[in-house]
Chain A
Amino acid sequence: MKRNWLLLSVLIALASCEVEPQEINYGKDGCSFCKMTIVDTKHAAQIVTTKGKNFKYDAIECMINHLNQWDEVSIEFYLVADYANPKILVDAQRAHFIISEEIPSPMGANLSAFGNAEDLQPHIVHSSARTFGWDQLLDEFKHKQ
């Protein structure tokens, strides 16, 4: 029994050092920025710092607003949920973003991400739709502030 505990604590210690994304526990985890419980599998986001610290967000706009508050951070992974494949997080730097009134997002920015450009195509038809790459998106949010 004692050895099990020891093993477990060693495992935990090791696990917490890994620079890896963590699974989002939908319905239980809270957003690191706005404190809302994360439930929307189509708009969640996550970042992992180079030191292995995990931050989970209920919306992509929360992640970007959080980034804007920090001075200098070194981040290993930027991840956003793929709108077309709920629950699946994709690399934000290679994702395609859309701001469209047709798709409301949890924090009111109407911002969604797509892993594949083809999945994004059918949504562009809406009159309010604007598409972005990752860098353009960061610029867009900087100008808003």
Chain B
Amino acid sequence: MRNWFLTFLLFIISIPFYGGTIEVCQKCNVQTLEEAYAIAEPYDTLIIRAGTYEAIDFEVRKPLTLIGDIGAVLDGKSKSYILKILSDDVHVLDLKLINAGRSYTKDFAAIYVSGANRFSILRNTIIDPFFGILIEKSHHGKIASNVVESNRLREDDAGNGVHAWHCTDLTIEDNELSGLRDGIYLEFVEESLVTGNNSHNNIRYGLHFMFSNHDKYLDNTFRENGAGVAVMFSKFIEMRRNRFVQNWGTASYGLLLKEIYDAEVVDNTFEENTIGIFIEGCTRVNYLSNDFRRNGWAVKVSGGSYTNVFSRNNFLSNSFDVSYNSKMNDNKFEGNYWSSYSGYDLDKDNIGDVPYRPVKLFSYVVNKTPETIILLRSLFVDIINFSERVSPVFTPDNLIDNAPAMKSFSDDQN
């Protein structure tokens, strides 16, 4: 809240120093955006009063600030882009954008930013776009507190909410994204921060990284998406304090990690997902202090994952805690809390005296033949799981938590 106030104050202060203001309204001297743009000097501010303004491919090629009053609407008439930002130092605030165009072959967006530095897109509302905010080859931008919503649920011709391609140093903060293909999609994006967003009911992912390095995403919520977050082919990604909730479905995950190196997954909550984290080809990733609650699989490790560490996590009432598809294990599971641990603690040091084996034999059977899942709660499966635990033959011998915690880690311990 204070941040907003400061930003607002800065704007108020900066206006007199940075050139004049031009008002646009039905009863003003300037009635259309084109007129206002034509007479505007660089660093001027356009104040758009309540009303609906036609904006088809409206290009901003000089530094400008566009501020919308309550009720200011830009209408794209379903043709193509609405607003195109093609200059440095452009700021767009408090506008409502409707009727952006749709196309199979062109990536039409409500707000399109290309080759721009130092831009900000704040508190805008974008209704039913193809792409919401599409940013290409731009740097030092802030995209905050926008609402992008689409009703294209369960259709595949949706675009992404915030899509960044070949960008550096972006901040994507406190946005509300729903009903899109991906809430946020970062492709070749470096040194960026994604924080405080609420991305839900999207067809594919709440957040999607592809070939992006040195990025962080913190304190976001991903609920009821096709899958929560996918991080693929990326290095040095920090993931902290996010919530992955109810991402259900056959190809659904809370978090999908593929070909990731040197990442941190810390203090996240995975609740009621088909698979909490799906890991394939990931190396040197630390999973610390996460909560896994009531997932189908908490952690599913597929081939080629080495030197990962799982420590101080809570595994609470998951159908499967850890699932593996090979006999090899080079990952470390130590000092986690497992709600299905049935050992004891005679020396009272809060560490179980008997190691815990998180991989059930039955999970191998399910991996091979998914249909067998209907036997999950049967006595027979309990028996084979028990016998495997007593004398392991199929499960990786060294996949053991040697120091299982007796009590779950609560927040104050973390």
Contacts and interface: CB of A to CB of B under 8 A. Distances in A.
Contact of B181 (A28, A39, A42, A86): A39
A39 B230 CA distance: 14
Given A27-B155, A27-B156, A42-B104, A37 B251 contact: yes
A124 interface: no
A53 B258 CA distance: 24
Contacts of B211: 108
A37 B280 contact: no
B159 to A, nearest CB: 10
Given A37-B226, A37-B251, A108 B210 contact: yes
Contacts of A100: none
B156 A41 contact: yes
Nearest to A123: B105
Contacts of A66: none
B204 A37 contact: yes
A30 B300 CA distance: 16
A35 B226 contact: no
A91 B213 CA distance: 37
A42 B204 CA distance: 16
B320 interface: no
A26 interface: yes
A86 B226 contact: no
B227 A37 contact: yes
B263 interface: no
A104 B166 CA distance: 13
Given A35-B256, A39-B204, A86 B250 contact: no
A35 B204 contact: no
A66 to B, nearest CB: 13
Contact of B156 (A30, A36, A39, A108): A39
B278 interface: yes
Interface string A1-43: 0000000000000000000000000111110001111011110
Interface string B182-202: 000001000000000000000
Interface in A36-68: 36-37, 39-42
Interface string A57-81: 0000000000000000000000000
Given A37-B251, A39-B156, A108-B210, A27 B232 contact: no
Contacts of B250: 28-30
B154 A27 contact: yes
Contacts, number: 52
Given A27-B154, A28-B250, A108-B211, A35 B205 contact: no
Interface in B148-189: 154-158, 165, 181, 187
A34 to B, nearest CB: 6
A104 to B, nearest CB: 8
A35 B181 contact: no
A27 B204 contact: yes
B222 to A, nearest CB: 14
A28 B249 contact: yes
B204 A28 contact: no
A28 B157 CA distance: 14
A42 B107 CA distance: 13
A27 B104 contact: no
Nearest to A40: B156
B298 interface: no
Contacts of B156: 26-27, 39-41
A29 to B, nearest CB: 6
A15 to B, nearest CB: 15
B203 interface: yes
Contacts of A42: 104
Nearest to B302: A35
Contacts of B251: 28-30, 35, 37
A26 to B, nearest CB: 4
Nearest to B154: A27
B210 A27 contact: no
A40 B185 CA distance: 14
Nearest to B208: A36
Interface of A: 26-30, 34-37, 39-42, 86, 104, 108
15 contacts: A27-B203, A27-B226, A29-B250, A35-B256, A36-B232, A36-B256, A37-B203, A37-B205, A37-B226, A37-B251, A39-B158, A41-B104, A41-B156, A42-B104, A104-B165
Top 7 A-B pairs, shortest CB-CB distance: A30-B251, A26-B156, A27-B203, A37-B226, A37-B204, A39-B156, A39-B204
Interface of B: 104, 154-158, 165, 181, 187, 203-205, 210-211, 226-227, 230, 232-233, 249-253, 256, 258, 278, 280
